[in-house]
Structure 1
Amino acid sequence: MKKTFFYLLLFLATSTLTSSCQEKKETNKHANNLSTKDTLTNMKTSFKWQEGLSCPEGYPIQVYRGWLEGPLVSNGVNEEPNSTTSIYGFGTTTGIGNWGENSSGMSQGEKPIPQRLNCTWYSYVEDVMYHINTELDYQKMVKLFNEGFQDSNRKRGKVMTTYNHITIGFAPGGLVVVWLKGGDKDVEVGRYQGNKVVIDPKEIASLDSHERLLFDPVDRERTLKNPKIISQEDQEANKNKPIPYGLWDSYRIKYSWKPTFEFVREGKISDDLSFDMFNGERETLLDEQFIKNEYQERAIPRVLSFAWWDKNGQGYGGYIRFDEKEIFAAFKELHKKNPEANIDLEVKINPGSTYLGATLKNGINAIPLKKSNTEVYESRSLTAKYKKE
C-alpha cells in the first residue's frame, strides 16, 4: 500500500513538472516568435539581389531542381511562399575557382528575401544526388541587408551599400553553405546538410533528352574530363585520392585575430585593407574600422590585399596568398599553446617595398609563413600633403 501511494505521488509530481516544462517551452517559443517579429519591425524585407551558385575547386555540381522560397502567406485556403526564385537550369556549376566564388543567376529586380531552400542537386565526382529542404536564417539575412556596409567605389569614393547576391555553395558530402555577397564584403548566413536521394527511373524517363544527360554515365565521364569544368591540374592532383570530406567544415573554424603591419623604414598603410577567407567570406576594413582594427573571430585568411606609401610618397599595392596547409597548421599550433590569446597576422614591408613577409604571433610565440606567395606593384604617388606630414 505504501509503495502504491509513493508511486502515485511520484506520478503526480512528474506530471506536474512535465506540464510546467511544456508550458514554459511553449511560452518561450511564443516569446521567440514575438521577438523575431519585433526585431524585423520597420525593416525592409525586399531588396534587389541575384541568386548564385558555388562549389569547391575540382568538385562540380548541377542543380536538378531547386528554389529559394520567400516567407509563407495565406491565399485564403492554405499558405504558400510569397515568391520563388529558381536556382536550376543554369547547367553545370564548374569546379574551377575558390569555395564561395559566385556564379550568378538570371533573375532581375527587387524581390523578397528568401526564407527557405528546397533543392536537389547532383555531385559529379561522388556520382550522388542530394536533396535539402530547410529553413534559412531569415532574420539574420533581413538584418544584414538592412544594415548594409561601407564600400569603396572608384567614382563615388566610400559609400554605404548593401548585398546584391545570395549564393548557395554545394560541397561533397551534401554540405550546403549560404552567403550574402556584395562589393568587397561576403558573409556566411549558415551551414546546412543535404541527404542522399535516388530519383525514380520513371521520372528520369519522362525528362527530355537534354535533362536526361544528367543521369547518363557517359556524359558524367565526359564532364569529369572537361578541363573547362575541372582544370587539368586539379584532375591530376585529385587522381586516385579520396574526397576530403570535412575539409570545407574545417574552413569554418574561426580564431580571434587581426592584421598588423610593420615597415622596416617609414611608411603608411592605406585605409582600404581587404582579406578573403577560406570559408568563402570576405572583409574590407575602411575608415573607422581600419583605424580601430580590432581583434575579431574570423576564419583563416586565404588572401590579404592592401596598399601603402613609402616615406617618399610613392604608392604601392600588393597581396599575400597564403599556403593552405602552412597557415592552418600555424593557427592551430598557436591556439593550442595559448587558447585565450589573440593572434596577430603581422606583415613586414622591406625598405625598398620589394618584399613582403608574413608571421603569425600570439604575444609569446611566432611562426613565419614562409610558403606564402606575394606580389608587389607600384601604384599612384601620395599627395604633397602627406609628404610634408
Structure 2
Amino acid sequence: MKKIQTLVIALLLALTSSCQEKKENNKQANKPGIQDTLTTMETNFKWQEGLSCPSGYPIQVYRGWLEGPLVSNGVNEEPNSITSISGFGTTTGIGDWGENSSGMSQGVKPIPQRLNCTWYSYVEDVMYHINTELDYPKMVKLFNEGFQDSNRKRGKVMTTYNHITIGFAPGGVVAVWLKGGDKDVEIGRYQGKKVVISSKEIASLDSHERLLFDPVDRERTLKNPKIIAPEVQEANKNKPIPYGLWDSYRIKYSWKPTYEFVREGKISDDLSFDMFNGERETLLDEEFVKNEYHERAIPRVLSFAWWDKNGQGYGGYFLFDEKEIFVAFMEMHKKNPEANIDLEVKINPGSTYLAATLKNGISTIPLKKSKTEVYESRSLTEKYKKE
C-alpha cells in the first residue's frame, strides 16, 4: 500500500479538494434554473440509509442523521425529514469500500440535502464530525433518471436507486453513494474534522453508549475477528495508516472493456465492473453495443458471460491485483495522457483461461497477477438454444 501511495501522490494533487467540492455543491443548488428544474422532478423515493468503511478500519456513528430540504413551519425553517444513521453499532468494513451495511428505515421519503454526523474511527482512536450540504440536485436527477437493470424474473427493466450509503475512511474522509441493483454511483467526497467529546457529555451517557469511549472496549473491538478479519489484522500490523489511499481510488481514466476470442465466440450483453472507489457499472443492451469510453475509476472486479462456438454458456470474472493495475493505468496515462485505454479480455479456445491486458494504441501492459475464475452456465446455454 505504501508504494501505491507514493505512485499516486502526483495525481492526487489534481483532485478537487473536499472544501472546494462542498462550495461547488452549494453553488450548483442555487444556480438560476436549477431550483425550477428540481420542482418538476419527483423528490420522494423509496430508499434506505447505509454505512460503509474500508476493510480493517471499523467505525461507529456516535450521533448522525440525513436531513431533507428545509421547509417553513410558519416560524422558521426545518428539514422536511430526518433519517438517523446512528444506533447501528460498529460498522465492520468486512467487505469492500462502498459496500452497504446497516439501515433500518426503508420507505418512501424525501431525498436528503444535508449530512450531520459525528463518528468514531477505532484504528485512529479519533472522533470526527461533519455537517455538510450534499449534492442534492445530482441525487434528484439520478433518482428520476433511473437505469436499466437485469432482473431474473422480469428480464431487463427500468428501475432506480434504493440505498443512500455513507462511507467513512481514515483521515475524516466521507463518501456518499447511491446504490441500486447493479448500479452504484458516487455523489461526492467530503471532509470531516477531528472533535473531542467532553467528559461531561460522556458521563451523561448510559453504560452501553459509554463503551465507545472505553479503551478496553476499543482493544477488544480491534482484535475481534468478526470486525477485522484475522488476515487483515496481520497484514496491517505495525504498518502506518495509508492516508490518501481512498482519495487515490477516485482518480478516473477514459477506458472501456474489450474482448477477444482466440476462436469463435460471443459475449453476452450483460457485463459489469466494480471500481475501487465504490462505484459499480453494468452494460446492458444499447450501452453494451455502444461500449463507449467513459471517465471511470480503476476496476477492482470485471464480470461477464459468453458462449463458445457450440453455444455452451460460460461465466467468468477477474479480481485485479490492486498494485499491478494501479501502476499499469498510471503508466498508460503518463505515456499518453490524451489516449483512451482499452481493458482487453482474451478468452482461450476451450474457455478455460482468461487474460487481461491494458492497451492505448501505443503501449501494452499485461495484468498477469489478476485472479480469474471460469464456470459453465446452464442458463446461458439454454438461452442460446432458445434463440
TM-score by length of 2: 0.91
Quote the Cα distance in structure 2 between the aligned partners of 1:200 and 1:254. Answer: 41
1:50–1:372 CA distance, 2 compared to 1 (3 A) = same
Aligned residues of 1:305 and 1:319 also touching (Cα < 8 A): yes
Quote the Cα distance in structure 1 between the aligned partners of 2:156 and 2:41. Answer: 24
2:292 aligned to 270, 291, 294, which one? 294
Aligned residues of 2:119 and 2:129 also touching (Cα < 8 A): yes
Quote the Cα distance in structure 2 between the aligned partners of 1:237 and 1:95. Answer: 15
2:33 aligned to 12, 32, 35, which one? 35
SS in 1 for 2:372: strand
Given the alignment of the two structures, is residue 245 of structure 1 paired with residue 246 of structure 2, yes or no? no
| Structure 1 counterpart of 2:157 | 159
Deviations 1:26-49 (A, max 9, x none): xxx799443211221310000000
Letter in 2 for 1:36: I
Quote the Cα distance in structure 1 between the aligned partners of 2:241 and 2:114. Answer: 29
Aligned residues of 2:58 and 2:122 also touching (Cα < 8 A): yes
| Structure 2 counterpart of 1:104 | 102
| Structure 2 counterpart of 1:26 | none
Letter in 2 for 1:63: V
1:82-121 aligned at under 5 Å gives the runs: 82-121=80-119
1:350 aligned to 348, 351, 362, which one? 348
Aligned residues of 2:29 and 2:137 also touching (Cα < 8 A): no
Letter in 2 for 1:73: V
SS in 1 for 2:37: helix
Aligned residues of 2:321 and 2:369 also touching (Cα < 8 A): yes
Deviations 1:304-360 (A, max 9, x none): 000000000000000000000000000000000000000000000000000000000
Quote the Cα distance in structure 2 between the aligned partners of 1:115 and 1:122. Answer: 23
Letter in 2 for 1:243: I
1:134–1:103 CA distance, 2 compared to 1 (3 A) = same
1:30–1:132 CA distance, 2 compared to 1 (3 A) = closer
SS in 2 for 1:224: helix
1:333 aligned to 328, 331, 351, which one? 331
Aligned residues of 1:49 and 1:108 also touching (Cα < 8 A): yes
| Structure 2 counterpart of 1:10 | none
| Structure 2 counterpart of 1:362 | 360
1:31–1:127 CA distance, 2 compared to 1 (3 A) = closer
How many angstroms does 1:264 deviate by? 0.1
SS in 2 for 1:107: coil
How many angstroms does 1:277 deviate by? 0.2
| Structure 1 counterpart of 2:311 | 313
Aligned residues of 2:173 and 2:192 also touching (Cα < 8 A): yes
| Structure 2 counterpart of 1:383 | 384
SS in 1 for 2:55: coil
Letter in 2 for 1:173: G
| Structure 2 counterpart of 1:136 | 134
Aligned residues of 1:274 and 1:304 also touching (Cα < 8 A): yes
RMSD of equivalent CA atoms: 1.2
1:181 aligned to 176, 179, 182, which one? 179
- State which drifts further: 293-302 or 31-40: 31-40
| Structure 1 counterpart of 2:19 | none
Letter in 2 for 1:186: D
Quote the Cα distance in structure 2 between the aligned partners of 1:105 and 1:360. Answer: 39
Quote the Cα distance in structure 1 between the aligned partners of 2:86 and 2:385. Answer: 54
1:199–1:286 CA distance, 2 compared to 1 (3 A) = same
Quote the Cα distance in structure 2 between the aligned partners of 1:284 and 1:383. Answer: 21
1:103–1:385 CA distance, 2 compared to 1 (3 A) = closer
SS in 1 for 2:355: strand
Quote the Cα distance in structure 1 between the aligned partners of 2:254 and 2:352. Answer: 30
Given the alignment of the two structures, is residue 60 of structure 1 paired with residue 61 of structure 2, yes or no? no
| Structure 2 counterpart of 1:278 | 276
Deviations 1:247-301 (A, max 9, x none): 0000000000000000000000000000000000000000000000000000000
Q: How many pairs were matched up?
A: 358
| Structure 2 counterpart of 1:12 | none
Aligned residues of 1:50 and 1:104 also touching (Cα < 8 A): no
SS in 1 for 2:260: strand
1:203 aligned to 188, 201, 209, which one? 201
| Structure 2 counterpart of 1:24 | none
Letter in 2 for 1:193: Q
- State which drifts further: 73-82 or 245-254: 73-82
| Structure 1 counterpart of 2:122 | 124
| Structure 2 counterpart of 1:217 | 215
Percent identity among equivalent residues? 88
Quote the Cα distance in structure 2 between the aligned partners of 1:80 and 1:257. Answer: 44
TM-score by length of 1: 0.91
Deviations 1:229-258 (A, max 9, x none): 000001000000000000000000000000
Letter in 2 for 1:242: P
Quote the Cα distance in structure 1 between the aligned partners of 2:220 and 2:64. Answer: 24
Letter in 1 for 2:256: K
Where structure 1 has 5 or more consecutive residues not aligned to the other structure, the ranges are 1-28
Letter in 2 for 1:314: Q
Quote the Cα distance in structure 2 between the aligned partners of 1:330 and 1:48. Answer: 40
| Structure 2 counterpart of 1:74 | 72
SS in 2 for 1:218: helix
How many angstroms does 1:385 deviate by? 6.5
Letter in 2 for 1:383: Y
